[in-house]
Amino acid sequence: MGKLVNLLRGYVELEVNGAFPERLLNLFAQTQTRFWRLQWLDDTSFVFRVYYQDLDKARGLAERAMCSLTERSRGGGGVTAVNLLKRWGFVAGLCLCLLAATVLSQFIWVIEVTGNETVSTAAILSQLRRVGVCPGAFGPGIRQREAANDALMGLPGLSYLAINVYGARAEIIVREVNEPPEVTDESVPANVVAAADGILEEIQPESGRALFADGDVVSRGEVLITGDMELFETGSPESKGRLLVRAAGLARARTWRTLEETIPLTAQVKEYTGEEVHRYALECLGGRWEIFKNSSISDTRYDKITETAPVTLFGAELPARTVITTLRGYTLKEEPIDRAAAEAALRELLAWRLDRLMAAGQGEVLHTDFLTRVEDGRLTVTLLAECREDIGRTVELPGQTGHLENAAPSPEGTE
């Protein structure tokens, strides 16, 4: 530990020559001046080390002891610091670095978003930029609570957003909205209507009255289970009115779906002209500066490719980034498409549409067949599918459930 202290404080190695050099050692002991690493060279000289700040004191004691001192070397932190202070360029650079570190630490360099799953980080960062929270923003100038509330207003998928600034780092904590389960309003009457043509295999009303039986052929739009029921008194054909309920139930049927998609056999493709323009910009502290840019590209059709890269210093990202925009000119020309690839793509699209239909009715596909034809330069693919699915869909009615409508007047009320 003592060696480390001596090294940090700085030392000077001195050579002492004199008729009685031991007198100098006695004076050092009397004045409690520390020295170490004493090494005798002969009877009239020796070498030792003292602290750098005790050098002048050692010279005064050497004059009293009638000895001469010769400085052999210097070392340690104190000596190094004194030497560095004489180099004004280094001192100025060090001060500028400290000033830059102090100033730049007040700006946000890094933004971290946590807690999001369905809402993308890019969408959150984009909204934060609108309220002034972005790389390059002045951290102490951000009103964190107000900025969080303003950003939350533009992100309906979030229920909570907090901004915490720690020096050059901003931590964004979010909580997403938990969608409540869909609640059916049982007070609204409804019918169960066929969503497709088919042959009923099974119809089971949970509420309401079935208008068809197993094995009946139904058409799209027909009411399968009605929620508008006429009431009769037991043993009497006289109507007591109509009762409105919210009809529900299962209506599983054998269906035949026909889906169709078409695509032209030619397409416009890009043919690059070779003309290319590069534009450069620097984004820093919330501003954008064009470094230089060439004249605009001659053709109105061009691809715009933007590349961004952060500016780094000694491996740390600064609140700045370079932006390189490349414009590539092209023209359009008609070329035939690959018919086999187009047909495969249309079949995949039709299969996806059929899967969506089956998911809606919790159905299954029994058999499929594809038909392909070419007419007027267009390729058409038709999907014929035999399915088994629940074709019942709820269609709401005006009124309120549980009420009697158009009830016959009582005998007491008749004249």
- State whether CATH 3.30.70.260 applies to domain 2-83: yes
pLDDT (tens digit, 9 = 90+) per residue, 174-227? 999 887 777 667 788 899 999 999 999 999 999 888 999 999 999 999 999 998
In the chain, which residues have pLDDT < 70? 1-8, 77-88, 90, 183-184, 235-236, 239, 285-286, 292-300, 314-317, 402-415
What is the tens place of the pLDDT at every residue in 317-334? 677 788 888 888 888 888
CA 63, CA 17: separation in Å to the nearest integer?
11
What is the rounded distance in angstroms from the CA atom of residue 351 to the CA atom of residue 344? 11
Beta bridge partners of 325: 279, 306
Angle at which helices 55-64 and 22-30 pack, to 10 degrees?
Answer: 120
**pLDDT reported for residue 350:** 94
- Cβ of 127: how many Cβ atoms within 10 Å? 19
Q: Where are the domains of the chain?
A: 2-83, 90-183, 190-256, 260-265+337-387, 267-336
CATH, domain range 90-183: 3.10.20.310
Q: How far apart are CA 84 and CA 69, in angstroms?
A: 25
Pairing of strands 287-293, 266-284: antiparallel
The separation between CA 209 and the C-alpha centre of its own chain, rounded to angstroms, equals 52
pLDDT of residue 300: 66
How far is residue 348's CA from residue 28's CA, in Å, rounded to a whole number?
A: 97
- Give which of 195, 192, 191, 193 is closest to 387, Cα–Cα: 195
pLDDT digits (tens, 9 = 90+) for 125-179: 989 988 888 887 888 888 889 999 999 999 988 999 999 988 888 999 999 988 7
